Chains A and B, each alone.
Chain A
């Protein structure tokens, strides 16, 4: 099946149609955040402070890139393990976050939040940071510059490849994919 071209921020109508296993090519805006930035975002939410960017409808990419060489937009830019963000994710989804991009499966709490608030979790190719860097056309640090590689960046991407892992209907590609190809129990 061909990949579906979608824009980010992702329209709610598009979110409704996405199913686990769908391949997409994302164009538009992504914000990066890893462990330390997540901690700060959730602390800000908890204490009623304003976030450094409007989270509503946005897409977070779990990325800490390598430094850009002179003349390059960004360094290597692949996903980090999403499970480390699991504890922080449900409150962010409740606050309006609509999509996340990372690698690896999510906790039951995150999956429940994606169903309840109609958000989607995408996986992109772990360990393909050079390939993914070519889809990033603009990158700018917009918050927490002291976190260096973990600072929050605003990225503009074109045809960034991703796969729907958790959809709003309860679909989970990690479970479905494994069940389809498993030939042996543990």
Chain B
């Protein structure tokens, strides 16, 4: 058994919220630079240059990469030999979000109730927390500030079990065509395939944590990722949807077992401001 102080978790989450909002990952930056080299539209190249420049300015000025500092989505991998002391785990995470967003001058975008009383909670809490119990005595925390524009274009479909990869590809292409410029392309497309409705939606989001462009280890899935990427980039939407050959930077698909009657497919889109940072305590 290993003790981890709740206050250490709060500090770590606060730091990750700020770091994720100010610093674009090197993997994302490299993918953007590569796309800039290959892009056929001059307007789109100009837009990509500005997006790359924005990342530099955000780091320099400690300004958020995007004014939408997102819902704080927090992934916890809790070792089963970990004992949290000095407070409640989820309260510690929420405190971290409150401190990170307040002290980092990040935009607070959470409202307390989604229907009539859309009152801002003032500190970007509550976070959305996903917890997984894993072997070991470490606690891994990943913070993903998820913007509304791309999240709003998510999709879940329960396909027929015999549908296969062609229908999965068509679904993603259709989703992208309808989303147009709204989710701030170029995107990273998170794809969950299998499981149940709620499990595959989470799988699609978890897929976004993978380093950009790292293929799925399963060759069949990696081939599907590439096929979808090619189809999506053939749509012509381009950066911001204004035309071009760079609509997506990568497709990350994850596949899990499912029911004999089902083929659930979830699409979770990530804008080019693909922000996530993690730490192991």
Contact = CB atoms under 8 A, between A and B. Distances in A.
Interface in A1-31: 21, 23
A81 B50 CA distance: 19
Nearest to A83: B182
A81 B242 contact: no
Nearest to A67: B105
Give the interface size class of chain A: 35 or more
Interface stretch (B1-9, B78-86, B88-96, B173-181): B173-181
A78 B66 contact: yes
Interface string A95-127: 000000001110000000000000000010111
Contact of B236 (A72, A133, A178): A178
A178 to B, nearest CB: 4
Contacts of A179: 236, 243
B262 interface: no
A85 interface: no
Contacts of A66: 63-64, 67, 69, 105-107
A49 B180 CA distance: 37
Contacts of A23: 43, 46
Contacts of A149: 107-109, 120
B236 A21 contact: no
A173 to B, nearest CB: 5
Contact of A183 (B53, B69, B184, B234): B234
Interface string A68-93: 11001001111011010000000000
A129 interface: yes
Given A66-B107, A103-B184, A182-B234, A81 B152 contact: yes
A174 interface: yes
B227 to A, nearest CB: 12
A178 B232 CA distance: 12
A66 B22 CA distance: 12
Contacts of B66: 76, 78, 126-129
Nearest to A131: B54
A179 B236 CA distance: 7
A130 interface: yes
Count chain B CB atoms within 10 A of each CB in A105, A127, A173 and give the residue with the most: A127
Most buried by A among B40, B63, B67, B68: B67
B231 to A, nearest CB: 6
Contacts of A130: 54-55, 57-58, 61, 63-65
A123 B181 contact: yes
B40 A181 contact: yes
B200 interface: no
A127 B28 CA distance: 13
Given A66-B67, A103-B184, A149-B108, A178 B152 contact: no
B180 A104 contact: yes
A181 B240 contact: no
- For A72, A128, A177, A178, the residue with the greatest tally of chain B CB atoms inside 10 Å of its CB is A128
B236 A186 contact: no
27 contacts: A63-B67, A64-B68, A69-B62, A69-B105, A75-B63, A76-B69, A80-B68, A81-B182, A103-B149, A103-B184, A104-B149, A125-B50, A127-B66, A127-B271, A129-B63, A131-B54, A133-B61, A133-B63, A174-B180, A174-B242, A177-B41, A177-B242, A178-B243, A181-B40, A181-B41, A184-B234, A184-B235
Given A134-B61, A149-B109, A182-B235, 7 more contacts: A66-B67, A66-B106, A125-B51, A128-B54, A129-B58, A149-B107, A186-B235
